[in-house]
Structure formats: structure tokens, C-alpha cells
A = this chain, B = another copy of it.
Amino acid sequence: MASLFLKTPGPSQSFPKTHKTHFVLPQNLPLSWRSKYRAGAAAAAAVRIRCGLIEPDGGKLVELVVEEPQRDLKRRQALSLPQIKLSKIDIQWVHVLSEGWASPLKGFMRESEFLQTLHFNSLRLGDGSVVNMSVPIVLAIDDSNKNNIGDSSSVALVDDKDNPIAILNDVEIYKHNKEERTARTWGTTAPGLPYAEQAITHAGNWLIGGDLEVIEPIKYHDGLDRFRLSPAELRDEFTRRNADAVFAFQLRNPVHNGHALLMTDTRRRLLEMGYKNPVLLLHPLGGYTKADDVPLEWRMKQHEMVLEDGVLDPETTVVSIFPSPMHYAGPTEVQWHAKARINAGANFYIVGRDPAGMGHPLEKRDLYDADHGKKVLSMAPGLERLNILPFKVAAYDKTQNGMAFFDPSRPQDFLFISGTKMRALAKNKENPPDGFMCPGGWKVLVDYYDSLTPSENGRVPEPVPV
């Protein structure tokens, strides 16, 4: 990663506002602004901007990583407990939970949370308030795990090398009705849903919920950990930048100039609304994605080139990785994508056409109506505080040789380049029209497909999923 991805100075150092950077180093800062806020007016004045960030769901960011002095103790405790081996996707969910993206969840869902998620896409809290929660964050176990756990109220969660990752306390084991879970989450039970094939179909027939204690921060050691900022770290970064509005853009695809146009235009609109310093959270999803999506590593390279080319303003853009796995559950999942960004401090969310959508696994059509995502998002319980910004449609304007907002009065001037078309061009080393994507970004895509060396029969092998 190049200079634009430099670490910023630590909290004790001065932070020049003109410093052009997208990233900050994770600093494990305590989220102390709420208590400061409550300490009185003088303190409140000192943290005025911090108080301006949207409050996390449930009022408090739930962070589940145990403090350093406790970690050895917890590791030893884990050794004495029944063990559950986590898949890579399970670990991604531990990561998500540990940093409070799913606040106020304190661990894998117990049955009451699972049922509320499936039926209502939301959770009612003890005080009667409602937070959004649309995808089940659950841990599946099989019969032998269940027998092994017996009456133990705590279990150790370990990785594939039996290293303890977390302890789950006050556990509750309940039935994993896979058909019902799939039907209510995706609105279909058709075989071929990527997440279901990966994490549900072959998973155990039980779910185990409980309160998590995560032994240390989750790291992947893939060269990208420094870009994985937690909600607390992002909030701190927005505060340092004196952001008075944070608008989040979720993506799992390469950025083209249409995206850039949209993000720039959004900032312009927010300035018009009277905000003084709207900051963009450009937030690629970093967890499980389906095999034919461009892998995170290559997407990050592509995003870097786009930023280097100056398509987006580094001063008002924070690029970070969202650690969640992808469900491809359309209108259900887009709520999760939005809700998690509230917890990271975003109060505006850009929603596109068919968010988190995909083709129907069996039929020749999109699985979801392209407009349902933004409609459902705008009506979703617990997201009333979030400002939803519907995506304007951008397309290639042949009269301007560049991406522009589609003008329905002259449709003949516009060219729509779908993700499928884009991938096909890059695979075949063809170039898109000038102005579709910056050349450096396009080269990354071509290099990626080039890296998938054809096998002996001349066919490019399918990438291996997580």
C-alpha cells in the first residue's frame, strides 16, 4: 500500500487538518465521550464535535475484547472448557461482535434474539426501545458439540489450530431450523445461495448463544489489518476531523467513476444542507464474499489507485474495512449494512439499486426487486435516526466521455456498464470507455484476472471462496 494509506499520528501528537490521509492506525481508544458528555457543560463543550456523532444503538458501543491484564487468565480458563471449533466465517462474526458493530448484542444470539431477527428484523431492548437487527448472528454446533458441552454454562471458541479465540458464557442451545432461517432471511430456499451453502446447509442442527469474552483483538495477518478500524476507532477519527456529518458508502466491488461522482455529489448536497464538514466513510466489506466477487486484497489495491488518481478527496474520505461476511440477502441485509454504520458513527447512508442483491440461484432474474432495498431501508424499525440517501443512477455519458447522472430526457447518450460487463472486459483485457474508471484502477482489475492463471485445459479456474 502506498503513501495515501499512511498511518496518522497517535492521539498525543498534533493532527494537522490539512494532512491528506484516509487511514488511521487502530489505537484501542476507550469510547469515553459519553461519560465526558455527562460530566457537565464544560466537558461537553470540549467534546462538542464528538457529541455530534450519532449515538450507537442501545446508547453505548459494546466492546467485547477483554483487557490486556485479563487475557492470560482467560486463555487458561478456555483450556478447561468444552471447545467449539470456529470456521473462518464464525471468526469474522466474533470480530464483528467484539468491536460493537452489532451493538447492543453482547455475543452470539440466543433464541429470543434469533426469533426477533427472523420475524421483526429488530430487537426490543429492556427499556422498550427498538434497534434494528436483520441478519441472524448465530453460531451453529452439531450433536457431538452439544453432547460435549453437556451442562457447562461456558464454552471456549477456538480456531482451526485450537487456539482459544473467545469464551461464550451463560450459553443457551436451541434448534437450528435451517429451512426457516433461510426462508425468512433470503425470501427463498432455492439451493445455491452462497452464504447458505457456505455456512448453513452443512452446519450443525443446533445454535448456541451467549455472552462473548474475546481474548484479544481479531487479526488476519494479511497485510490489511491496519485498515480494519473498529467503530470506536472510526468515531475517534471522525471526531479528530471535526466531521459534523458522516456518510457511509458500503461496497464490495471495484470503484468506478460513477461511484466517485455519487460520493462527491453527496458531499456537495450535504454542504448545501448546511453541514460544514461532511466526511465520507468508504467502507468496503472485508468478510466472506462469493467466489466470483473480486477478493478484498485486490479491491483494496483498486481503491488505493482510485484515491491516488485524485478521484476522491483524501481530506474528507476515510477508507476502512467492514469486517462482516456477506449474506447477499438484499433488503434484509442492507439493514444490517446500515445499522452497523450507525454504530461506527455514520448518520447518512448511501443506498444503491438492488443493494446486497444477486441473481436468483435457479431462475433467470434478480433475486430481489431492485427498488426494495431502499424502500425497506427507509421503513426499517430502529433506523429512523439514519438519513437514507438513495443512489442516483450514474451511467457513461457518450457526449461527455465520462460518468454522469443519467438524464432520462436523452437516454440514447448513455451507456450502462454492469458489474458483469465490467468483469468480462477486465477478464478479456479489453478497455472500458475512457472515463469509466481511472487507468490505474482498471489495471488492478486486469492484473487480478491475469493472476488467475489458466489451468492446463485453458480455463481460468474459479477462485476458491473463504
Contacts and interface: CB of A to CB of B under 8 A. Distances in A.
Interface of A: 111-112, 115-116, 118-122, 124, 128, 130, 134, 175, 177, 179-180, 183-184, 186-190, 331-332, 368-369, 372, 375-376, 379-381, 384
Copies per complex of this chain: 2
A128 B383 CA distance: 12
Contacts of A118: 187
A379 B175 contact: no
11 contacts: A112-B375, A115-B331, A119-B331, A120-B120, A120-B379, A122-B381, A177-B369, A179-B187, A179-B188, A183-B184, A184-B184
B120 A381 contact: yes
Nearest to A130: B381
Contacts of A332: 119
A376 B188 contact: no
Contacts of A368: 180
B188 A375 contact: no
A119 B121 contact: yes
A111 to B, nearest CB: 7
A183 B175 contact: no
Contacts of A376: 115, 119
A372 B187 contact: no
Given A115-B376, A175-B369, A188-B189, A381 B124 contact: yes
A186 to B, nearest CB: 7
Contacts of A184: 183-184, 187
A119 B375 CA distance: 11
Contacts of A179: 187-188, 190
Nearest to A381: B120
A381 B175 CA distance: 23
A116 B379 CA distance: 7
Q: Which of A186, A332, A369 has the most B CB atoms < 10 Å from its CB?
A: A369
Nearest to A118: B187
